[in-house]
Amino acid sequence: MKTINDLNLENRKALVRVDFNVPLNDDLQVTDTSRIAAAAPTVKKILDNGGSAILMSHLGRPKAREKEFSLENIVGEVSEILGVEVKFVHDCVGPEVEEAAANLRPGQVLLLENLRYHPEEKEGDKDFAQKLARLGDVYINDAFGTAHRAHASTTVVAQFFEEKSYGLLLAKEIESLEKVLGSSKKPVTAILGGAKVSTKITVIENILDKVDHLILGGGMTYTFVKAQGGQIGDSLVEDDKQELALKILESARAKGVQVHLPVDAVAADQFSETAQTKVVPVAEIDQGWMGLDIGPESRDNFGAIIRQSKTILWNGPMGVFEMETFAQGTIAVGEHIAAATSKGAFSLVGGGDSVAAVKKYNLQDKVSYVSTGGGAMLEMLEGKSLPGIEAIKS
């Protein structure tokens, strides 16, 4: 795996694809700097090795050149995190940008304007990619969050460079996933939650050969429970996926994988923070009630499995954790993973909701690795090759 450590960067300009798609508040201030911080080691490595860095990223989904999607809004935060004054240019291609890049000196950083102000970025336009490529001597992809997109800056641009590599963040992401999927540290446990079976089918099918335990929670629980004849009341269900759920359970049995479903649920009479709630067996939920979290017995059962695991993957919450009333299952799973990690287990957390949960409950420093890419991580777990990763290899 060719990383930035394999490049000679002295007196060279590194064109770096970063993922600075960060949330902004109504005052256009950054509310979560973790993606910027995650890219900092790569940028600092370039500067420490005598190079300069030209950073390119998208932000949101602009339809035109709306001010709220300008990367100028984040220059202050990027400068503060990198510890250097970051220069900014009001476009990402064209004469003004080429001049700013040409004037860049070793130790300096230039941030380009939002790539998606140009529709050619998402279209993977070759001419647009070539214009970006003119700016740098070497190309580094450090944007795992967009590695599953075949866009101009993530994939096409790489063909114009003889020297290209993964950044430190992207290399760590690949390494962490391979650590889980190819782990010899057993037992290996995958914890999958979230609303729908349909979004996780390919993941489940791909990881069944690689895990010893599969813990299922969240809304997808009820499709499995109903498929086995349980009463789920008004809980979320994908009726057209019941047969598939039974096939997954059968496939797991054939492969010797133990599947663990919740045995009890926190049921509510409405989808609301202030709903009436009761703990009931997961297969005995009355009409007019819905399961919105795993119950205390399930939390204990899952905890016993997690705490004796040596390799752990977590993707998806156990319930509607955004509402305090239905957050206990997700919190418990996070705490069990933290406990296993403290005893030497390797734990990888990925996917928007799981990452939000570990941050919300201050567990991010108590797990081994928190992935920065939701869709990209899911596609790797599905066994797909990612265009942004393949472009560096080719």
Could you name the CATH architecture of 182-381? Answer: 3-Layer(aba) Sandwich (3.40)
Which pLDDT tens digits describe the chain residue by residue (394 residues)?
789 999 999 999 999 999 999 999 999 999 989 899 999 999 999 999 999 999 999 999 999 999 999 999 999 999 999 999 999 999 999 999 999 999 999 999 999 999 999 999 999 999 999 999 999 999 999 999 899 999 999 999 999 999 999 999 999 999 999 888 887 899 999 999 988 888 888 899 999 999 999 999 999 999 999 999 999 999 999 999 999 999 999 999 999 999 999 999 999 999 999 999 999 999 999 999 999 999 999 999 999 999 999 999 999 999 999 999 999 999 999 999 999 999 999 999 988 788 889 999 999 999 999 998 778 888 888 888 899 999 998 7
Full DSSP string of 129-169: HHHHHTT-SEEEE--GGGTTS--TTTTGGGGG-SSEEE-HH
Residue with tokens 């911080």: 37
Active site annotation includes 145: no
Residue type at position 44: K
Q: What is the pLDDT of residue 373?
A: 79
SS3 (DSSP) at 114: coil
Instruction: List Cβ<8 Å contacts ≥24 apart for 170-175.
Output: 170/141, 170/142, 170/143, 170/144, 170/388, 170/389, 171/1, 171/3, 171/4, 172/369, 173/144, 173/147, 173/371, 173/372, 173/373, 173/376, 173/377, 174/1, 174/380, 174/389, 175/1
Cα–Cα distance between 321 and 354 in angstroms, integer? 10
Q: What is the pLDDT of residue 189?
A: 97
Active site annotation includes 116: no
For helices 296-307 and 328-342, what crossing angle results, to 10°?
20
Identify the active-site residue in 44, 122, 179, 196.
Answer: 196
Q: What is the pLDDT of residue 34?
A: 87
Identify the active-site residue in 13, 17, 35, 299.
Answer: 35
Q: Where are the beta strands (DSSP E) in 198-316?
A: 213-216, 231-232, 258-260, 264-268, 277-281, 284-285, 290-294, 311-315
Identify the active-site residue in 60, 230, 303, 375.
Answer: 375
Q: Is 292 in contact with 266 (CB distance < 8 Å)?
A: yes
For the chain, domain boundaries: 4-170, 182-381
Q: What is the pLDDT of residue 6?
A: 93
Active site annotation includes 253: no
- 4-170 and 182-381 in the same fold: yes
How many residues does the structure list for the chain? 394
- Sheet bearing 138-141, strands edge to edge: 86-88, 109-111, 52-56, 13-17, 138-141, 164-166
Query: Nearest-CA neighbor of 192 among 184, 179, 202?
Result: 202
Cα separations (Å) of 346 from 176, 218, 316, 357, 368? 9, 23, 18, 18, 6
CATH 1.10.3720.10 fits 4-170, yes or no: no
pTM for this prediction? 0.88
Q: What is the pLDDT of residue 394?
A: 78
Active site annotation includes 35: yes
Token pair, residue 176, equals 């962490």
Identify the active-site residue in 122, 247, 352, 360.
Answer: 352
What secondary structure letter does DSSP report for 78? H
